[in-house]
Amino acid sequence: MTLSDMAACACGLSEAHLTEYKGKQLHQEIVDDFRALELAAKNAGFDLEIASAYRSFERQSLIWNNKFSGKRPILNANNEPVEIANLSEIEIIQAIMLYSAMPGASRHHFGTDLDVFAPNLLKPGQTLQLEPWEYQFDGPFYKLNTWLDENLSKFGFYRPYEEFRGGVAEEPWHISHLNCSDKLVQHQSSENIITALKHSNVLGKASLIKHMPNLYKQYITNICLP
């Protein structure tokens, strides 16, 4: 592996930039800002919790391979399973990337990006799904969603997938620390992702590498900037 230290962190191959916070691994430089966001949310009536924080290249590869091989369903924009039997490799890849990043390209590798929710807003017996309807009008996290709209930027966070832009689906639960993520984004280049993929057992990696320029533009850098 010839990746630099920063590139290894950006592509999920190093944990040198992380620290533990309430059982999750976060970028060490965002903990104070997230703690402040958490406290402000608490004062507003929301028990803000992290559903998912850092994910390693290995963990992302497991998610990816299970979807690519059909062991785990791939969902479309209507939350319906995609039938992959007659799809080409690139069509399967594009179907997966609506909701799951290719290994090496996930923003969750940064430790700056978190999926958040408020369990105190769930009804008895109701479980978290991490689906857009939960954050929309009449969803359990609608009030939290509105509060986040008004307050995230005060603590240095924003939502990179606030709306669908033809790449990754809308993810209102996904927040990112602007300054810290920006430092790592520049090291998550297409060249570094390809290097990580070449040394992996990621399914479909030949097609990922072949189509990297278009995939990189459509799914990786195609985000909502604050």
Measured between alpha carbons, how far is 7 from 1 in angstroms, rounded to an integer? Answer: 11
- What pLDDT band is residue 2 in, cutting at 50, 70 and 90? low
What pLDDT does residue 176 have?
A: 98
DSSP string, 129-180: ---GGGGSTTSTTHHHHHHHHHHGGGGTEE-TTSS--SSSPP-TTEEEEHHH
What pTM was computed for the model? 0.96
Rounded average pLDDT over 66-89 = 95
Q: Residue ranges of the domains in the chain?
A: 5-220
What pLDDT, in 10s, does the model give residues 35-47?
Answer: 999 999 999 999 9
What pLDDT does residue 1 have?
A: 46
Query: What CATH number does the domain located at 5-220 have?
Result: 3.30.1380.10
The mean pLDDT of the chain is 97
Distance of CA 59 to the CA centre of its chain: 12
Rounded average pLDDT over 143-154 = 98
